[in-house]
Structure 1
C-alpha cells in the first residue's frame, strides 16, 4: 500500500488468486452448513457492497469481535458465525491483464 500526494492510502489491486474471508451467520446466510444463494440482499450489495477481509491481513480476534457485535445487533438469524474462505476471482469476476481483481 502506498499513499497519494494528500496522504490518502492507495491500495493495489487484489491478485486474482488471493484468498478472502467472509463472515456469515446461521440462519441468515447459512442453512444446513451451506451458504444460501440469496444470503445477501441485492439492495445491500448495490448500496454497501460485499464485506470481505483479505486473509493475509485478517486478525481473527477482530473478526470474532465483529461476529459478537453483529450478533448482538440482530440476534434472530445470527445464532452462529461461520467464516467462508474463497479466491478473489470468483467474487468479482473482473480481472485485468495481469489477473488482478479490478473491483
Structure 2
C-alpha cells in the first residue's frame, strides 16, 4: 500500500517527500480533531472513583487525603507486612554455565 502511494505521488523525489509529509499531517489532523474527540466519551480513562473514607463528615473541608505519621513497618499503625524489611532474604542467583 505504501509503495503504491509512493509511486502515485507526483513531482519527483522532492514532491514525493512533501506529499508524504502532507499525507501524514492530514492523517494526524484527522485523528486529533475528529476521531479522538469522538472516541473520548467511549473510553474509561476519566472514570476515576476514589472510595477511601477520609473519616470526616461531608462538608468537613478535608480533601480526602490522609497522612500517617511513623514508619510504615511499625507495629501499631494497623499495617503488618508479610515479609522482613530489615534484610534481604532472597537467595543469591545460581551461576550459569
Q: Which TM-score applies when normalising by structure 1?
A: 0.21
Greater strand fraction, Structure 1 or Structure 2: 1
- Between Structure 1 and Structure 2, whose CA radius of gyration is higher? 2
Q: Which TM-score applies when normalising by structure 2?
A: 0.22
Greater helix fraction, Structure 1 or Structure 2: 2
